[in-house]
Amino acid sequence: MSRSIHRAGCRVDHGVVLQAKRVLAVTLGALALSAHAQTQPSITPTPAAQQAPKQDAIQRLFSRVDTDGDGRLSAEEATRLPAISARFDEIDANRDGGLDPDEFHTGATAPVR
C-alpha cells in the first residue's frame, strides 16, 4: 500500500519536475527575448533632456543681466558678466552691438580659450 503510493508520488513528482523544467526553459527564453528587445529602444541618448536645466539657468541669467528687459544684452549690461564682457565682440555674432539670447547662450557655453 505505502509502496504503491510512494511510486505514484514518484511518478507525479517526476512529471512535475519535467514540467517545471520546461516552464523554466520557456521563461528563460522569454526573458532573454524581452531583454534583447528592451536593449534596442533604450539606446537613445537624451542630451536634450540633460541640457534643459542648464539652458534654463542660462536663460535666467540672461534675464537678470538684461536690466532694461529689451531681450538683448548691450555692452554695458554685459559688463556685469566679466566672462561675457571680455569676449563681447566675439560673442556678438551678427555685430549689432547687442547679444540676443542665442548669442548669449553660445557665448556662455563656449569653452574659454
Residues engaged in binding Ca ion (CB under 5 A)? 66, 68, 70, 72, 77, 92, 94, 96, 103
Helix (H, G, I), strand (E, B) or coil at 99: strand
Min dist CB 100 to Ca ion, Å, is 5
Supply the minimum distance, in Å, between the C-beta of residue 82 and Ca ion: 17
- Residue number, 55 or 106, with CB nearest to Ca ion: 106
Cell of 105: 547662450
Q: Which residue in this structure is represented by grid cell 516552464?
A: 23
Shortest approach of Ca ion to residue 59 CB, angstroms?
Answer: 14
Smallest CA-to-CA distance from 84 within 68, 65, 69 is with 65
Q: 45 vs 69, which CB is nearer to Ca ion?
A: 69
Given a contact cutoff of 8 angstroms between Cβ atoms, the answer to whether 72 and 100 are in contact is: yes
Nearer of residues 81 and 92 to Ca ion, judged by Cβ: 92
The residue to which cell 519535467 is assigned: 18
